[in-house]
């Protein structure tokens, strides 16, 4: 039964998360020297070093520190306190994570249809010019570094043409206070909400303009992986006997591709889609840094540079949880789509009766 399959996968993900917390906790212990002194800096006062040591409970045994860390994390949803910003980490995440989600969603909306279309066209028109063009686009997307692509996009569309901005999230000319007026913490959705409520479309169009370049740059790698996986899965399915039988019966090519080939090639494609979604929603460090996008990736880079290890620890934990979540979600979707799991569950019920 699918519910049993989902429950097994969910239980199996719990030890992974516990091992992740243990690994991140142990990574702080591997820092050479006094971690409080490293975090405070060489010119820090003894009072500042002692404050860090007390706030992180470094004077207690390691197992007590880990137990207290798990207790705060699980039962109090306390991710710690940022030494750089002097704020709770959860408060900083409430601003950075929506920005990352907005960017990742836009990149995914570009990568999914384009990758699927190129993969299907490349498989159907194998060894044609369409196949070569699609393969070249996929190879370019995998091979080209994001920072180099970001520079090219900024040089062409911003510096030469002047169509799109190079950095930031919203124009200064738009009268909008995110702290008091934002509803979704995502400016595109806020602009859509304001536009539909009669408050004007300036916020929506400005947010879209600032979102285009980072979303396009971020979408290249998942688009390329989806395209290559779709092509491989479609080529494997199109060579099966039932496809030849469908062609012999005179079924239209479009119906064969859409109804027979695409449905049976969906499982590996769905898997790679969820893996790429986990990578996107986990924070695009390079893209957010290049375009000064105030998301989780940029926040982590700033924290690493300032030796704000509690923020680095919590941010890395969030990225790991996102990966585990999307892997679990992809596994559940594949299990729901795969008829073999339902068949094995039905056989199990038959043997039990």
Q: What is the pLDDT of residue 348?
A: 53
Q: What is the DSSP string of 12-74?
A: HHHHHHHHHHHHHHHHHHTSSS-HHHHHH-TT--HHHHHHHHHHTTTTS-HHHHHHHHHHHHH
Domain boundaries, the chain: 2-87, 92-352
pLDDT digits (tens, 9 = 90+) for 169-228: 888 888 888 888 888 889 999 999 999 988 889 999 999 999 999 999 999 999 999 999
Residues 110, 222 contacting (CB under 8 angstroms): no
Q: How far is the C-alpha of 187 from the C-alpha of 170, rounded, in Å? A: 8
DSSP secondary-structure letter at 88? E
| Cα–Cα distance, 330 to 267 (Å, whole number) | 10
Tokens in use for 142? 């995998």
Q: Which of 59, 60, 69 is nearest to 25 (CA)?
A: 69
Q: pLDDT value at position 349?
A: 53
For the chain, how big is the Rg over CA atoms in Å?
25
Q: What is the pLDDT of residue 251?
A: 81
Contact in structure between 191 and 201 (CB atoms under 8 Å): yes
Phi, psi of 87 (to 5 degrees): -140, 160
> What does pTM read for this prediction?
0.85
Provide the pairing of β-strand 81-82 with 87-88: antiparallel
Q: Which pLDDT score is estimated for 160?
A: 92
Q: Which residues of the chain have a pLDDT value below 70?
A: 1, 32-34, 38-39, 41-42, 283, 339-353
- Could you give the angle at the alpha carbon of 151 between the alpha carbons of 146 and 153, nearest 5°? 90
The answer to whether residues 327 and 274 touch, using CB atoms and an 8 Å cutoff, is yes
How long a stretch of residues is the chain? 353
Name the CATH topology of 92-352: MetI-like fold (1.10.3720)
């Amino acid at each position: 039964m699918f519910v049993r399959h989902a429950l097994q996968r969910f239980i199996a993900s719990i030890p992974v998360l516990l091992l992740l917390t243990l690994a991140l906790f142990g990574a702080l212990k591997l820092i050479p020297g006094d971690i409080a002194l490293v975090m405070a800096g060489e010119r820090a006062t003894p009072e500042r070093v002692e404050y860090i040591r007390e706030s992180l409970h470094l004077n207690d045994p390691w197992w007590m520190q880990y137990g207290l860390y798990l207790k705060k994390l699980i039962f109090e949803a306390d991710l710690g306190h940022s030494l750089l910003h002097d704020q709770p980490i959860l408060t900083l995440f409430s601003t950075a994570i929506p920005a990352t989600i907005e960017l990742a969603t836009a990149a995914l909306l570009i990568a999914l249809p384009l990758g699927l279309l190129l993969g299907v066209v490349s498989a159907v028109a194998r060894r044609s010019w369409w196949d070569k063009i699609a393969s070249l686009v996929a190879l370019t997307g995998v091979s080209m570094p994001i920072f180099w692509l970001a520079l090219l996009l900024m040089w062409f569309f911003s510096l030469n043409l002047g169509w799109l901005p190079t950095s930031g999230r919203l124009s200064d000319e738009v009268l909008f206070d995110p702290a008091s007026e934002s509803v979704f913490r995502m400016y595109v959705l806020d602009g859509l909400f304001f536009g539909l409520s009669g408050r004007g479309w300036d916020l929506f169009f400005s947010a879209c303009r600032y979102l285009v370049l980072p979303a396009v740059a971020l979408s290249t790698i998942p688009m390329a992986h989806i395209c290559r996986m779709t092509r491989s899965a479609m080529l494997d399915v199109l060579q099966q006997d039932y496809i030849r039988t469908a062609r012999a019966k005179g079924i239209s090519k479009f119906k064969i591709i859409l109804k027979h080939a695409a449905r049976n090639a969906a499982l590996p494609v769905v898997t790679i889609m969820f893996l790429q979604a986990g990578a996107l929603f986990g924070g695009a460090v390079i893209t957010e840094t290049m375009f000064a996008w105030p998301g989780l990736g940029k926040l982590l880079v700033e924290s690493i540079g300032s030796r704000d290890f509690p923020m680095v620890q919590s941010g890395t934990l969030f990225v790991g949880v996102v990966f585990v979540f999307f892997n679990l979600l992809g596994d559940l979707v594949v299990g729901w789509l795969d008829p073999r799991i339902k068949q094995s569950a039905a056989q199990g019920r038959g043997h039990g009766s």
